Amino acid sequence: MTAVSSAPSTSTSFDLGPARALSCRECGHETPLAPEYACQECFGPLEVAYDFGRVRREDIEAGPRSIWRYKGLLPVPSTVSAHPNTEPGGTRLIQADNLAKALGVRKLWVKDDTGNPTHSFKDRVVGVALAAARELGFRVLACPSTGNLANAVAAAAARAGWQSVVLVPSSLERAKILMSAVYDGSLITIDGTYDDVNRVAQELAAENEDWAFVNVNVRPYYAEGSKTLGYEVAEQLGWRLPEQIVIPIASGSQLTKVDKAFREFGSLGLVDETPYRVFGAQATGCSPVSTAFKAGHDTVVPVRPDTIARSLAIGAPADGPYALDSVRRTGGAIEDVTDEEVVEGIRLLARTEGVFAETAGGVTVATAKKLIESGKLDPDAETVLLITGDGLKTLDALGDRVGPRATVAASADAVINALKD
């Protein structure tokens, strides 16, 4: 990490709602709210610390259907919804009885985050990043990405009337490039791997003071957006926590933030502090956190990703150690699945519940199956699966395994005959 601060402003009186300070996750050192992301003492990652005051169910329930109903729990100004934004969140939590039966568990829920504006959970984190970036004085919204984040940043910037700079590898599928380009920000494709793109983003963030790279120099604020997945699940369950939840791991941030959301809801008295277990899901082709978990290690050894689950293909996951902490503290587990299992997971979810997930969702479903079969996930405990992205974005993963039952001539008899086979 080369840049500790990328401050576009020296003001210290930012209105970020209940956010009180930035706190180092390693040494605990606190620093005032600012456009910073690494600890000045130890270079550890900074996280938002809060003074929540009183937060009541009624106030949340009276809010909008978007993530802004939880604005009193996020590092955003109280006026956040007055600014044009994509209004993410409010996605379905569906009772998945068919999938429960197929997996042999008693009670299962699927949180279907494909209903977000650009069809992934990234709209949540980008929404919070944009709101914080505006208050912190940034003027350009930017990111390095392999797809979902690029879509979310380009769309959010367009709606907010901001310039965007989105960096992706030039080898990206044409569909993902089109989806990122249509919003008419500055999409730059870079000849290199995602790691190369990421390095360029770090350099640009250090050199351009008013560029908010959402997942680099605004990361402490951005990451908090994932808490809304946890809040929504708990509220949609009728203000209570599930007993088990299975969450895909890319950087590991989402998993730790859902855990944080559950703890906050408990400590604020919004739900009973019932025990819950957090489970992590990875693709075997990029499973550094799963490997560390199984070996009993606290540190995560980087790997070179090789999996169709590209949105989870982060070989050196920044929040891997914290994800390990959450899983171990709650008594959960982490497992990984092959690419073939990923595709079977996508198909199983579509066939049983009519939800078409991207590869990351296949990882979650297949990992849940494996955890159940090995007895690590209790089939009698109520379980939630997080489906965080859309199958329309990873069609190629289905390969030749999905297709029509038959192609026939234009006659009713031909159709009937085809159905008999």
Residues 355-394 that bind its own copies (CB under 8 A): 355-356, 390-393
Decide: is 165 part of the binding site for its own copies (CB under 8 A): yes
Residues 355, 98: contact at Cβ < 8 Å?
no
Q: Are 93 and 238 in contact (CB under 8 A)?
A: no
For its own copies, the binding residue among 65, 294, 304, 329 (CB under 8 A) is 65
Q: Longest Cα pair distance anywhere in the chain, in angstroms? A: 76
Determine the residue type at 117: P
Sheet order of strands, 46-50 included: 30-31, 19-24, 46-50
353 binds its own copies (CB under 8 A): yes
Whose CA is closest to 401, among 348, 360, 361? 348
Residue 92 in the binding site for its own copies (CB under 8 A): yes
Q: Which of 326, 333, 242, 316 is nearest to 281 (CA)?
A: 333
Q: By CB under 8 A, is residue 344 in contact with its own copies? A: no
Q: Which stretch binds its own copies (CB under 8 A): 51-59, 290-298, 380-388, 411-419?
A: 411-419
**Binding track, positions 132-161, relative to its own copies; x by CB under 8 A:** ----------------------xxxxxxxx
Q: How far is the CB of 116 from its own copies (least distance, A)?
A: 8
- 196 or 243: whose CB is closer to its own copies? 196
Could you write out the three-class secondary structure of 319-376?
A: CHHHHHHHHHHHCCCEEEECHHHHHHHHHHHHHHHCCCECHHHHHHHHHHHHHHHCCC
The smaller minimum CB distance to its own copies, of residues 90 and 137, is found at 90
Distance between CA atoms of 83 and 134, rounded to whole angstroms? 10
Nearest-angstrom CA–CA distance, 191 and 205 = 19
7/102 with CB nearer its own copies = 102
If one asks whether residue 419 binds its own copies (CB under 8 A), the answer comes out as yes
68 contributes a contact to its own copies by CB under 8 A? no
Eight-class DSSP state of 310: G
String of contacts with its own copies for each residue 215-234, x by CB under 8 A = --------------------
The residue among 149 and 278 lying less far from its own copies, judged by its C-beta, is: 149
**And the tokens for 314?**
């982060």
Q: Is 420 in the site for its own copies (CB under 8 A)?
A: no
Rule CB under 8 A: choose which of 9, 31, 40, 189 binds its own copies: 189
Q: Cα-flanking dihedrals φ and ψ of residue 332, to 5°?
A: -90, -155
- The encoded tokens of residue 208 equal 């351009």
Q: Is residue 103 a contact residue for its own copies (CB under 8 A)? A: no
Taking the complex as a whole, how short is the minimal distance between the CB of residue 72 and its own copies, in angstroms?
A: 21
User: Could you give the count of Cα atoms lying within 13 Å of 179 in the half-sphere of its Cβ?
Assistant: 23
Of 23 and 215, the one with the shorter C-beta distance to its own copies is 215
**Residue in 6, 23, 118, 290 binding its own copies, rule: CB under 8 A:** 118
Out of 6, 18, 39, 112, the residue judged to bind its own copies by CB under 8 A: 112
Indicate whether 116 belongs to the interface with its own copies (CB under 8 A). yes
Q: Do 104 and 352 touch, CB atoms closer than 8 A?
A: no
Q: Which of 42/415 has CB closer to its own copies?
A: 415
Instruction: Kindly write out the interface string for residues 231-260 of this chain, putting x where it contacts its own copies by CB under 8 A and - elsewhere.
Output: ------------------------------
Is residue 259 within 8 A of residue 330, CB to CB? The reply is yes
